[in-house]
A = this chain, B = another copy of it.
Amino acid sequence: MQSFELDKSDLLKIKKALEEDDYVLKDLISEYHPSEIAILFESISQESRERIISILPAEFASDIISEMDAEFHPERLLENLNPERRSEIVEELDYDDATDIISQLPEEQQLEILQELDEEDASNIRSLLKYEEDTAGGLMNTQVIRINEFLLKKDALEEVIRQSEEMEEFYTINVIDDNNILKGIVSLKDIIKARNNVRIQDLIKADFVYVKADTDQEEVAKLISQYNLTSIPVVDDNMHLLGRITFDDVIDVMEEENTEDILKISGVSEDEELAGNWMEAVKSRLPWLVLNLGTAFLAASIIRYFDTTIARMGLLAGYMVIIAGMGGNAATQALAVTVRRISLNDLTDNQAYRTVLKEFTVGLINGAVVGCIVFLFALFYDHNPLLGLVIFIAMTGNLIIAGIAGSSIPLMLKRVGIDPAIASSIIITTFTDVFGFLLLLGLASSLIL
């Protein structure tokens, strides 16, 4: 079929079936792909989810759970299952998915589930639980195809097929020595094409990319994307093969990192779940607003300092808001371009310098153009060319500051190891507010009044 996406009529059909008996429901659900049911789960109640999970075959149920977005708490579906059913489902999960899900449960329940599992599964998951969630170790699956470098072609092929019985799919074949030290990778195609008396070690690719278990997940994503890898082996400090990370895990990581970038740049805590409730949203955003309130008081104090200027020339209040607003917007633009550029590539010192220089130039030109328009307005509407000149200078100056701050602050943060996206538009905008007010009111009070 061309696309499995659920449309409205599917949704209605399933929702209706939720009122029918289990057989009808089960039959209908089985017509869909697990990833579709995972999406359906986002719009039905927890009770309905639990009912569906409880009536499906364990394999289908586990596929749905592994496809669910972490935001919708797949782990909660395990909590109320009876132990036997639960271990059936967990055993069907890939180890990396099982680990991710179990790690979200309270420790007591984790131990309970691990005790229910057979020893091999439990020890695999236990060893994965040790790794930080956002490292290669936390992302990897321990089920890999591994063959000894001394095998002959024919035996190797048999071994690969035997090992692959237990796996849904594999992309590369890891070659190890007698001590499980990773020696290289080889493709199924190359094994098939080789003559029968060739040893696997002669088919190994000399250059191959691998990562250590403590590598940051963002770094893993960059490598997979740069080298177009379907999967990448994960090793410990002594080159022992631990597992593999596949491209589909990395696609999820990329979506996650991109969400974090957009949220942070907009002054939202990176932990806020997109589909979370209002309490989580308040918790994630209020601190940023309060922080910004402090800086807003700073901007307001400048206005207070010039209160006699404003009282004597009421026109300034309106222009003040225009200049500060345009500065904030220009800073947001420079910030977005710079943050995105940093997150896709590391910049050399020279590139960083040229980025700031470019933003200076853009600020100068955009400031002058916008400043001209406002100058003309002051000239023809307020008949005040001197005020127009002051506004022109303040606008140009503020947009230059906006360009420099919007580009140099994230670059400096990156240099000292802080996430550049934290230089959110909230912070940068205060910068341009303060400068905009200072420039306009300062110039006006000394030149005009």
Q: How many residues of A contact B (CB 8 A)?
A: 120
Q: How far is the CB of A90 from chain B (nearest CB, A)?
A: 20
Q: Which residues between 277 and 293 of chain A lie within 8 Å of chain B, taking CB atoms?
A: 277-278, 281-282, 285-286, 288-290, 292-293
Q: How far is the CB of A258 from chain B (nearest CB, A)?
A: 4
Most buried by B among A340, A429, A437: A340
On whether the beta carbons of A333 and B266 are closer than 8 Å, the reply is yes
A290 to B227, CA, bound (A): 42
On whether the beta carbons of A209 and B3 are closer than 8 Å, the reply is yes
A268 to B225, CA, bound (A): 26
Contact residue among B227, B266, B366 (Cβ-Cβ distance under 8 Å from A286): B366
- Chain B residues with CB under 8 A of A42: 345, 351
A336 to B345, CA, bound (A): 23
A286 to B252, CA, bound (A): 35
On whether the beta carbons of A307 and B300 are closer than 8 Å, the reply is no
On whether the beta carbons of B225 and A337 are closer than 8 Å, the reply is no
Asked if A317 is an interface residue, CB under 8 A from chain B, the answer is yes
On whether the beta carbons of A324 and B326 are closer than 8 Å, the reply is no
- Chain B residues with CB under 8 A of A197: none
Residue positions of A touching B, CB distance < 8 A? 1-4, 8, 11, 33, 35, 39, 42-43, 157, 161, 164, 169-171, 187-189, 192-193, 207, 209-212, 219, 223-228, 230, 246-248, 250-252, 254-255, 258-259, 261-263, 265-268, 272, 274-275, 277-278, 281-282, 285-286, 288-290, 292-293, 296-297, 299-301, 303-304, 307, 310-311, 314-315, 317-322, 324-326, 328-330, 332-333, 335-337, 339-341, 344-345, 348, 350-351, 358-359, 361-362, 365-366, 369-370, 373-374, 377, 425-426, 429-430, 433, 437
Chain B residue nearest in CB terms to A349: B8
Most buried by B among A225, A252, A299, A350: A225
- Interface SS of chain A: helix, strand, loop or mixed? helix
- Chain B residues with CB under 8 A of A317: 303-304, 307, 310, 317, 320
Chain B residue nearest in CB terms to A259: B340
On whether the beta carbons of A299 and B282 are closer than 8 Å, the reply is no
- Chain B residues with CB under 8 A of A326: 289, 292-293, 296
